[in-house]
């Protein structure tokens, strides 16, 4: 198998793990409070990342006060905020819906960058944002959703997931403000460590140990911590190192598709026409944002978005794939 083929398989598997986070969150939401689940997730992932840093002989950075504050804000928004809102969202909304909404991340990140940095959006980017919005509307305003109370509950869940995506977009924007960018493994470890510190006190206040916790919820936390967070990170960067940035960007479209398939297969959720239409709109949005990124140097690209988001969502590690595509993870770590 050629190196390019290996890169494609690795990036595809990484995006499947991304899509599986909504299914894991659904299992977690059935038996654990959100901050407790978040603290457990990062508590399980942290020793693994620390071991990776030790094995690769990566030195811990010493950021200045400016970057330290930004890293703390990134952890609050992208690590803790994203996880908590996602778990709360899938408690009320179907996991298939959450997968479609989560797939709008590239378009949401581009929109946040335009609003915050006052960049002039091109026609591809505008089209991508419009398509992503239509995808969200297709699942949140679909007719025939049953009782009014159930419909409004699902709407609230989808809005919470959309809020999670917005917080992760803020994470990506803050990453651009770092004076000294961190290598992927270093930033992933930092996000996991800070995420644990920020979530552990609220978790203690939830006092989850006073209630019986279902085994499937604990299994969901363990899966989320070790597969999307750790394995997803390793798969994505191993794959992106073998591909061009534009090629890696194509595989980000697998995220909402894998979420729909896994929600139907593992959770037994019914996937209707509205959800399929919503996913199609999101896939189109990813494609248009990717075209805009190729047209404009420095523009937001889906591959970059998911590379950066791996430090907060799945190991979410944070330089752009295009910046690191000629390096492997150990080389990036040793350069720190």
When comparing pLDDT for 335 and 24, which is higher?
24
Q: pLDDT, tens digit, for every residue of 159-172?
A: 999 999 999 989 88
pLDDT at 14 over 70: yes
For residue 322, name the pLDDT band (cuts at 50, 70, 90). Answer: very low
CA–CA separation, 146 vs 92, rounded Å? Answer: 14
Measured CA to CA, the distance from residue 315 to residue 188 in angstroms comes to: 5
* Burial of residue 131, with CB atoms counted within 10 A of its CB: 0-12 exposed, 13-18 middle, 19 or more buried: buried
**Residue 182: closest CA among 301, 53, 14:** 53
Tell me the CB-side half-sphere exposure of residue 172, using CA atoms within 13 A: 34
- Residue range 246-271: average pLDDT? 87
Are 248 and 330 in contact by the 8 Å Cβ rule? The answer is: no
Q: For residue 302, what pLDDT band results from cuts at 50, 70 and 90?
A: low
The pLDDT of residue 139: 85
Task: Count how many Cα atoms sit within 13 Å of the Cα of residue 134 in the half-sphere of its side chain.
Answer: 15
Indicate if the pLDDT at residue 323 is higher than 60: no
pLDDT at 4: 84
pLDDT of residue 314: 44
Over residues 129-160, the pLDDT tens digits come to 899 999 988 887 776 555 555 578 888 999 99
Q: What is the pLDDT of residue 333?
A: 34
Report the alpha-carbon distance of residue 190 to residue 116 in Å, rounded.
25
Q: pLDDT tens for residues 81-125?
A: 999 999 999 999 999 999 999 989 888 888 887 888 777 778 888
User: What is the crossing angle of helices 148-175 and 65-74, to 10°?
Assistant: 160
CA-CA-CA-CA torsion for 292, 165, 20, 8, nearest 10 degrees? Answer: 20
Mean pLDDT, the chain, whole residue set: 84
Q: What is the Cα Rg of the chain in Å?
A: 19
Long-range contacts of 263-267 (CB under 8 A, 24+ apart): 263/22, 263/23, 263/26, 263/94, 263/95, 263/96, 263/99, 264/96, 266/23, 267/23, 267/26, 267/95
The arithmetic mean of pLDDT across residues 73-78, rounded, is 94
């Amino acid at each position: 198998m050629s190196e390019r083929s290996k890169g494609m398989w690795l990036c595809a598997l990484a995006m499947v793990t991304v899509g599986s986070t909504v299914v894991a969150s659904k299992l977690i939401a059935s038996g654990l409070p959100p901050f407790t689940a978040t603290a457990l997730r990062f508590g399980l992932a942290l020793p693994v990342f620390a071991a990776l840093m030790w094995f690769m002989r990566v030195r811990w950075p010493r950021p200045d006060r400016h970057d330290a504050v930004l890293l703390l804000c990134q952890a609050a928004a992208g690590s803790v905020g994203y996880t908590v809102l996602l778990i709360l969202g899938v408690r009320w909304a179907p996991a298939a819906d959450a997968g479609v909404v989560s797939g709008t991340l590239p378009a949401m990140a581009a929109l946040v960058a335009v609003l915050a940095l006052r960049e002039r959006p091109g026609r591809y980017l505008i089209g991508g944002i419009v398509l992503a919005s239509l995808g969200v509307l297709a699942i949140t305003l679909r007719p025939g959703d049953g009782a009014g109370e159930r419909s409004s509950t699902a709407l609230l869940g989808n809005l919470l997931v959309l809020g999670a995506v917005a917080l992760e977009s803020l994470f990506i924007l803050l990453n651009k403000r770092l004076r000294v960018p961190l290598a992927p493994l270093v930033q992933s470890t930092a996000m996991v460590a800070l995420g644990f510190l920020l979530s552990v006190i609220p978790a203690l206040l939830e006092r989850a140990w006073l209630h019986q916790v279902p085994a499937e919820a604990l299994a969901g936390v363990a899966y989320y911590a070790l597969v999307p967070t750790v394995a997803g990170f390793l798969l994505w960067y191993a794959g992106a190192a073998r591909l061009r940035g534009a090629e890696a960007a194509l595989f980000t479209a697998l995220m909402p598709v894998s979420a729909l398939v896994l929600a139907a297969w593992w959770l037994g959720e019914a996937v209707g026409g509205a959800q399929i239409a919503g996913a199609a709109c999101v896939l189109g949005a990813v494609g248009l944002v990717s075209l805009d990124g190729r047209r404009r140097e420095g523009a937001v690209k889906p591959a970059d978005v998911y590379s950066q988001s791996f430090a907060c969502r799945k190991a979410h590690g944070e330089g752009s794939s295009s910046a690191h595509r000629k390096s492997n993870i150990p080389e990036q770590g040793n350069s720190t």
